[in-house]
Amino acid sequence: MDNTLSAYHFLFSALAFVFGSVVGSFLNVCIYRLPLDLSVNEPRRSFCPECKKPIPFHHNIPLVSWLFLRGKCANCGSPIAFRYFAVELLTGLLFLCVWEIFPWPMAVAYWIFVSLLIVATFIDFEHFIIPDEVTIGGTVAGIVASFIVPALMATDKRWTALLISALSAALGYVLLWIVLEAGKKVFGKKKIRLDAPTPFTWTRKGDDADFIVGEEQGLWSDYFARESDQLILHCDEARMDANDLGKADLRFHYNRVTIAGDEISLDTLDEISGVVRELEIPREAMGRGDLKFLAAIGAFLGWRAVLFSVFAGSLVGSLVGLFTLIIGKRVWSAKLPFGPYLAFGGLVWMFFGEALLRWYTSLLNP
């Protein structure tokens, strides 16, 4: 009897890992396509990012194919990023861990949750965004899952679980919104005095523009999160298309620039250049996608997970930021995504939340 149970346990555990790696293959599709506004359903078959040729089934077996092909496209030989293998392996391992720890109805819900965390983490690290499909869709999925599996909210009543889940999602959004607005008032502007007068260019690029200061380069839209945001350049010399402006202060909003009281639409300009000695850039404490992402975490895990995720995410994010400063000077335009650290906090709470709570309570009441 014990041998039979052990065999069944091994079989279902193996199936959980294999299923997770298969799901991980689909998550790779989401990670690649969602930031590019591509459908995750069309084309149905995966394709090489370089040559765009559809990948045949026998070259698309999770984990095995990447190893067999040595991380290269079978058609054009272009490198296939290690991220594809890592996502499949990570998803398989997390699905296995969830299956081993939680009753199966909770495990199925947590599989969905883990998938959302993985997609959000890898997209945010690469693109500094978390798509609404993950955040809003994840919040809805969490509320529905809590209604179907009320144990997610530590109750056996469906409507109570639904209410707790919805309120936890609201708490997550409102809590980070308060942090965002407070951070904007206190740290919403960064003044940078350059070591020496430095060349800059603003060059139209379709509906956007390239903005280059010395060796720092970025998209114009990356600097503006709000209509009221203002970027100021204190220039030793400036040129606007063919017009030489001499020494000037350029005050930019996303779609216009003000010089000596005159306002000019950026839609009428192709290039602005010159030499800048000091600039002021707008900044946000975090992106608004993080607010919705924390709401999704709350919808799946409850209000305590919201508080813990903010604490753990802030702590880990601060340590990572400090580490990058120690190993090398961070450039002034560099960004640090917050979503992956919220995901880390949510994952830790899912696996160890109750144990951490008992440990903390024992410290308060020895």
pLDDT in tens, 113-163: 999 999 999 999 999 899 999 999 999 999 999 999 999 999 999 999 999
Answer whether residue 318 shows pLDDT above 80. yes
Confidence (pLDDT) at 328: 65
Per the CB < 8 A criterion, the answer to whether 123 and 29 are in contact is no
Q: pTM for the complete prediction?
A: 0.87
Q: What percent of the chain has pLDDT over 90?
A: 63
Answer whether residue 208 shows pLDDT above 90. yes
For residue 358, give Cα distances in angstroms to 154, 307, 352, 362: 15, 16, 10, 6
What's the start-to-end Cα distance of the chain, in Å?
A: 43
Confidence (pLDDT) at 185: 82
92, two tokens: 């398989």
Q: How would you write 254-268 as a 3-class SS string?
A: CCEEEECCEEEEHHH
Alpha-carbon gap, residue 172 to 299, rounded angstroms = 9
Phi, psi of 326 (to 5 degrees): -70, -45
Give the CA dihedral 75, 81, 84, 90, nearest 10 degrees.
150
Which three-class secondary structure state does DSSP give residue 129?
coil
Helical (H) or strand (E) element with 236: strand 231-240
Answer whether residue 205 shows pLDDT above 80. yes
Answer whether residue 329 shows pLDDT above 60. no
Answer whether residue 53 shows pLDDT above 60. yes
For residues 301-323, give the mean pLDDT: 91
49, two tokens: 């990012």
| pLDDT single digits (tens) 213-254 | 998 888 898 889 888 899 999 999 999 998 899 999 999 999
Least confident residue range of 75-79, 135-139, 246-250, 270-274: 75-79
For residues 289-315, give the mean pLDDT: 96
Determine the angle formed by the axes of helices 132-148 and 104-127, rounding to 10 degrees. 170
- Closest CA relative to residue 357, chosen from 296, 304, 310: 304
Alpha-carbon gap, residue 342 to 306, rounded angstroms = 9
Strand partners, 233: 250, 279
The secondary structure of residue 330, as a DSSP letter, is P
Answer whether residue 327 shows pLDDT above 60. yes
Peptide bond before residue 35 is cis, with ω within 30 degrees of 0 = no
For residues 165-192, give the mean pLDDT: 91
